[in-house]
Chains A and B, each alone.
Chain A
């Protein structure tokens, strides 16, 4: 035993294996995929989350990234000038009491299936969003809650009658629940009523009939979404961009490092979630960046029903021991602005002087007034989904140690965090003392943030358990006053925020600055991004160079 195998077999084996290895290496090194010349202009946009649905009336989460390209709203919010601009509506008027609004619609607009855009489409779209909300509580149709009746004056004129005054032009520019779809969807989906649940399933299965510059051609919420240019879009003559992409692929790439790799390999043209520490490398390699100051903010909620965070002075001690400049530098690598209040910078109603100064001596003074003996231990509940919150938590813990406050960290993913945090209303003593949550808006109204975060009736999202009748009254009054006297309404919102600043049930931590990195083969103008429409890119403004 142990004799040599015949040399012939041996050499054949060696040659075969060598041939295999050489072939593999050859294929691997020398046949890197070279895309043949593409006649169509294609842009691949990496988005960092799977799509949760694309029903234009009900969707209120990540589906926005698709909805914003295939549907349009009656008006469009220009965040730079804080003005409401025409879109599907060219003009609008309101009665002096703000309870009657007339919208004059753009003529000659067609939906993607060729059906005409008109008053009927507006009526059906708005009523559906409103009614689904009223009946089931789902979606953001509450923005239309004041709408009592929608009258079709003529084919291109719609009158809204409201039960209380509202800034309907602002609401109509919302990032959710304000999209106009064609009534032909009823026939396509085989339903007789827009309230039929099957219509929702039809939309979420990858069907869409909007008026936008791009139409949906392929929908896989887990992998990618493909959009094709709508050559009949009314706005092409206005944007005057012959180099707009013919095809847009919204590719779901959840890992930031995979987005980075995708940019480098040329697979991705625009990425919105690369690791912050890699952005410099990309810029050095010739990629470009737009740093968008978003309305996406992060807020620290105090459990106002549990000792010691139920003591106002203790909360003030915490906030004065927080060095936010260091957080912005070390946790966010500069991609953030220190928040002032709970409304983000640039958002209507934002107030600039609601920042707590970092002052350890003052913090210790408040701690002493609070009568809380150190060492004391509190729990911080935060999201693991964001790298920034993970880093913040660690730095926060070390900062609080200087104050003599021990912090136990409780990292959770979003679904669990929400579940735990809202228990404050049922079991406050078992709920963490601190919760970090993030927010982005639906409509350009302070009510969107303030109601959801701190109104005593907002049991799902008021993680502070804050109950202040004066605050509730201020913002409820302001919400109604927006339609009658917008300036006065903003004043009330400012008062409400000052109340929050003094009470400190919640503290704005930072407003996100998000870098959109893109390759040199395209040009991404700043106008293509808008913080109200998170992650939506106006591809009709993007130029494909090569």
Chain B
């Protein structure tokens, strides 16, 4: 119920904000008309878009259309809004999922190692490193990675996949996740190409979750190692490895999942900036930027709603997973 209210609130607030800022969607919908009929074309476009109606009617219509799955055509590109968003969404989601595939294990491992070595120089180093990683601006790091790649390997990881390679190998999109699609088709050249291109932006985005997870994991494990049940286990002669693997790590899974979930949605913003501005990849970042520039309020609103829903879904999933793992947690 609360989630629905949040989404409705986002719709209302975003709609008002978009309508009150300069930029006339009717002009764009009419195609930036230039001849003697320009004024007429824009007025007709305004009626077609429903912009001649009072704001509350416009908002109600949008909510109704949204709930019935009718997002209409993009004002800038004249194709279904859903088509515009889906292509960008899969690109950005693939990037974040790939990033977290290695960020979570690496962050947890660093935290674990630091906790075990607590008090030592390695512990200090990892703690400092995690602060640096969590604080590093992703945009800056992405540019550095791009520069380093070009300088040392001569390779510029631009775009998601080589158009020429796609053409020559007959690659076709199935899910929109190129890594997955290429594996399904057994298209190894495209898989490797996509993998090589996704790594640099993924590295840039990964520093935040690695840094945060390393710090949190270190703290949690260090605390857990001081718990009575661990002391008891040591006293009973259970091996150190077993204690850590079977008792300590299990106890930190719920908070790690929660932190990962929060970090995941935060990384969405990072991904949108890095993929668009630094690496020239398609994704939600470029779609959002364009929709704002072109007064394509349908795409902007739909994006705002979908992103809000995405946040809610991820957080809900995290809660469900936590409740499943930890019987003490009730939803």
Contact = CB atoms under 8 A, between A and B. Distances in A.
Chain A bound to chain B: yes
A36 B165 CA distance: 8
Interface stretch (B57-65, B130-138, B236-244): B236-244
A24 interface: yes
A459 to B, nearest CB: 6
Nearest to B29: A138
Given A5-B240, A136-B44, A451 B36 contact: yes
B327 interface: no
Given A52-B77, A136-B44, A265 B158 contact: yes
B32 interface: yes
Contacts of B56: none
A309 B261 CA distance: 57
Given A1-B226, A267-B159, A418-B27, A142 B167 contact: no
Contacts of A37: 168
B34 A415 contact: no
A9 B119 contact: no
A345 interface: no
9 contacts: A2-B119, A5-B240, A55-B78, A137-B42, A143-B35, A221-B79, A222-B282, A226-B167, A254-B286
A355 B193 CA distance: 53
A288 to B, nearest CB: 20
Looking at chain B, what size class is its interface with the partner chain?
Answer: 35 or more
Interface of A: 1-6, 9, 13, 17, 24, 27-29, 31-33, 35-40, 42, 44, 50-53, 55, 58-61, 133-134, 136-143, 145, 200-201, 204-206, 220-224, 226, 247, 249, 251, 253-255, 257-258, 261-262, 264-265, 267, 385, 412-416, 418-420, 442, 451-452, 457-461
A133 B37 contact: yes
Interface of B: 21-24, 27-28, 30-42, 44-45, 73, 76-79, 84, 87-88, 109, 116-119, 146, 150, 153, 155-156, 158-159, 162-165, 167-169, 189, 192-193, 195-196, 199, 225-226, 230, 239-241, 244, 276-277, 279-280, 282, 286-287, 290, 292-295
Given A38-B164, A253-B280, A264-B150, 13 more contacts: A3-B240, A28-B199, A29-B153, A32-B153, A52-B78, A55-B78, A61-B32, A138-B41, A223-B87, A267-B164, A413-B292, A415-B27, A459-B38
Contacts of B286: 222, 254
Contacts of A142: 35-37
A1 B295 contact: no
A139 B31 contact: yes
A27 B196 contact: yes
A413 B31 contact: no
Contacts of A200: 78
B164 A35 contact: yes
Contacts of B78: 52-53, 55, 200-201, 204, 221
Given A140-B35, A262-B280, A221 B27 contact: no
